[in-house]
Amino acid sequence: MAIEHDYFGVLSSGPDGAIFWTERVDFGDQSVTVDLTAPDQDDVSIAALDVAAALIAGIEELDAAVRGAMLTEVDDRTSEVTEYILQQQEAFGDDLEDVLVDVSGDAAVDIIRSLRLSSMTILADEHGGSEPFAVLEYALDADETDEVLLVNLASDGSVQSVTSAD
């Protein structure tokens, strides 16, 4: 079986009924791996694919909104964003400025601005549900895969949560 969509083309399911699509998307000076997946093709609607396509097409605006949401968490000393920032300050120490794209003097803002969006995973079968529809992965060091922030998005693109994966 297969699903056909204007943006994704023909999405064929594997022998287990799962679908998977992947592509590199460029925006700004970044290249992001975008994956669309679902364990059962029957749980994926055209509406879910339309929303997924819109998120991908609007990745630059989505990224800006996500970074804004991260900034709102900086004032909460117990938030995952604050813990991540403190962890990065400790890990890089005096070399922190070398990895920042802009140094304004506010380390939290500078770190959030400097995060690289490395991947976006769309869980197409979660459209309209309470579980994340998309997960964006950010890291200060693109080569470091253990110390990342994961941003969970609802189907409407709103931020559900930000967690660290360290």
pLDDT tens, residue by residue, 66-78: 999 999 999 888 8
Q: What is the pTM of this model?
A: 0.92
CA 64 to CA 112: how far, in whole Å? 11
Least confident of 40-49, 80-89, 95-104, 151-160: 95-104
Residue 139 predicted with pLDDT over 80: yes
CA 51 to CA 57: how far, in whole Å? 10
Q: Which residues, 6+ apart, have CB-to-CB distance to 138 below 8 Å?
A: 66, 115, 116, 117, 118, 148, 149, 150, 151
Query: If we measure between CA atoms, which residue out of 20, 15, 19, 21 comes closest to residue 42?
Result: 19
Would you say 26 and 34 are in contact if contact means Cβ atoms under 8 Å apart? no
pLDDT for residue 151? 96
